[in-house]
Structure 1
Amino acid sequence: MTDRTSDKTRINRVITRTGDQGTTGLADGSRVSKTHPRIQALGELDEFNSALGVLRARALDEDLDTVLEQLQQLLFDLGGELAIPGHRTVNDDDLVELESRADTFNAQLPPLKEFVLPGGHPDAAWCHHCRTLARRCERQLLMLNDNDSDAVNPISLALLNRASDLLFVMARLLNQRHEQPELLWQSRAERK
């Protein structure tokens, strides 16, 4: 009886001590260094997903919140791919859906003729921050792919690229909905 209790306690514990020597376990049972590019990519995804959670904790319109939740779910799927080398979950339908959402939101905006400086309404500014994290995740996945050309699902790379685009459009839309003018980049001559 004691053995079952200790097994159950061990399963439910957050502190496992298995990573104290600088390695971590993948979902396939293998162990790798915490500095391995795969683990770095998982960490970047976690940070990106956490930042999206902070954005979603704000009072966003339901259409935006729904898309952000969908994106968070996809990031967990992508993390699952990384945790099981060779596993593929993210597919073309996911990519098409993100593109469609970005196009729908973008259709509500005036054409962009200048570069936009990150900022504006706090929600938009946080959206820009999330956009930069998506780009960092994309770069980290590319580094992993450079080390092992079969390590990354090409659709996952495209998904992170689309996520960044979507977040840029959402930042602009948030500024528009909050009647916050976009701050546009000005050339050096215009700033004088």
Structure 2
Amino acid sequence: MKIYTKKGDQGDTSLFGGDRVSKSSERIEAYGTVDELNSWLGLALSFGLSERGTEIMTTVQEHLFILGADLATPSSERTRIERIGEDQVKSLEHAIDRMEEELPELKNFILPGGSKSGAHLHVARTICRRAERAVVRCGMDEEISEFAIKYLNRLSDLLFVVARFENHRDGNHETRWKPERNDKK
């Protein structure tokens, strides 16, 4: 089987079920950004996360494939695919709670950065937020899974916590954000 089909040369693509849509549609933007996020997690993993971080991010990558397929399949389509659901959302919440137990309490905003893996996870968090916005826009015009937005919302929280965890593990201190004060009036 060849990787190229030439079917998208005119700027459209197929959803699961066969419907053709413009590559500029909100649905394509949504699952394309989820795919970008998944790739970025692969990059973060290449920098050597902790055993726990690797386990969690590998599971998240699998969830993101489910979410991508979910977004690529209109709700009306009878194709049998796994949909993102409450179990995946709860697994993120559980991972957040477990990791936060081992982190110092956060009392201030912190600047993204730290170790290579931590910094890449912070970038992944911002891509996750963009994916969430894209899914919200898609859901304004089309029916999507009720758990898609919830999943991405929790995932951005998890990515923040895992970035903190990896930086803490690597001995990188968090840089507190200190807003400049304009006392001159």
Distance 2:150 2:69 in 1: 17
* Unpaired segments ≥5 residues, structure 1: 1-11
Alignment of 1:27-66 (within 5 A): 27-66=16-55
Alignment of 1:1-12 (within 5 A): 12=1
Amino acid at match of 2:166: L
Amino acid at match of 1:127: L
Among all aligned residue pairs of Structure 1 and Structure 2, give the percentage whose two residues are the same amino acid.
38
Q: Say which of 115, 118, 142 aligns to 1:121.
A: 115
Q: For residue 3 of structure 1, what is the aligned residue in structure 2?
A: none
Q: For residue 2 of structure 2, what is the aligned residue in structure 1?
A: 13
Higher relative contact order, structure no. (Cα contacts within 8 Å, ≥ 6 residues apart): 2
> For the pair shown, which has the larger CA radius of gyration, 1 or 2?
1
Amino acid at match of 1:69: T
Q: For residue 171 of structure 1, what is the aligned residue in structure 2?
A: 163
SS in 2 for 1:187: coil
More helix by share: 1
CA RMSD of aligned residues (A): 1.3
Alignment of 1:103-122 (within 5 A): 103-122=97-116
SS in 2 for 1:162: helix
Distance 1:187 1:20 in 2: 49
Q: For residue 161 of structure 1, what is the aligned residue in structure 2?
A: 153
Distance 1:112 1:154 in 2: 30
Quick check: 1:96 aligned with 2:90?
Answer: yes
Distance 1:125 1:57 in 2: 13
Amino acid at match of 1:57: S
Q: Say which of 173, 178, 182 aligns to 1:186.
A: 178
Amino acid at match of 2:36: E
Distance 2:171 2:109 in 1: 19
* Unpaired segments ≥5 residues, structure 2: none
SS in 2 for 1:188: coil
Question: How high is the TM-score relative to the length of structure 2?
Answer: 0.92
SS in 1 for 2:181: helix
Distance 1:129 1:30 in 2: 33
Contact between 1:28 and 1:83, CA under 8 Å: does it hold in 2? no
Distance 1:56 1:162 in 2: 19
**Greater shift after overlay, 37-46 or 88-97?**
88-97
Contact between 1:125 and 1:171, CA under 8 Å: does it hold in 2? yes
Q: How far 1:120 sits from its partner (Å)?
A: 1.2
Q: How far 1:189 sits from its partner (Å)?
A: 3.5
Amino acid at match of 2:152: L
Amino acid at match of 1:74: H
Q: How many residues align?
A: 177
Question: How high is the TM-score relative to the length of structure 1?
Answer: 0.89
Structure 1 stretches of 4+ moved >3 Å = none
